[in-house]
Amino acid sequence: MNGPLVQLIAGFSDRDFTAIFSALLVIVLLLLVCFPVHEFAHAFVATKLGDDTPRLMGRVTLNPLAHLDPFGSLLFLIGGFGWAKPVPVSIYRLNGNARTSAALVALAGPASNVIMAVLFATLYRFAAILFPLSNTLLAGMVFQALSTAVFLNMILALFNLIPIPPLDGSRVLAALLPDQSARFMDQLERYGFMILILLVVAIPSLLGQLVTGPAVDITRLLLGF
Is the distance from CB of 100 to CB of 61 less than 8 angstroms?
no
CB-based contacts of 36, cutoff 8 Å, min separation 6:
62, 63, 64, 66, 67, 68, 84
Which is catalytic among the residues 5, 39, 46, 169?
A: 39
Element (H, E) at 107: helix 98-130
- 149: closest CA among 116, 126, 122? 116
Residue 68 sits at φ, ψ, to 5 deg, of -75, 130
How far, in Å, CA of 214 to CA of 112, rounded?
18
Q: Per the omega criterion (within 30 degrees of 0), is the bond before 54 cis?
A: no
How far, in Å, CA of 109 to CA of 13, rounded?
37
Q: Is 39 noted as a catalytic residue in this protein?
A: yes
Angle between helices 98-130 and 168-176 (to 10 degrees): 130
Q: Which residues are known catalytic residues?
A: 39
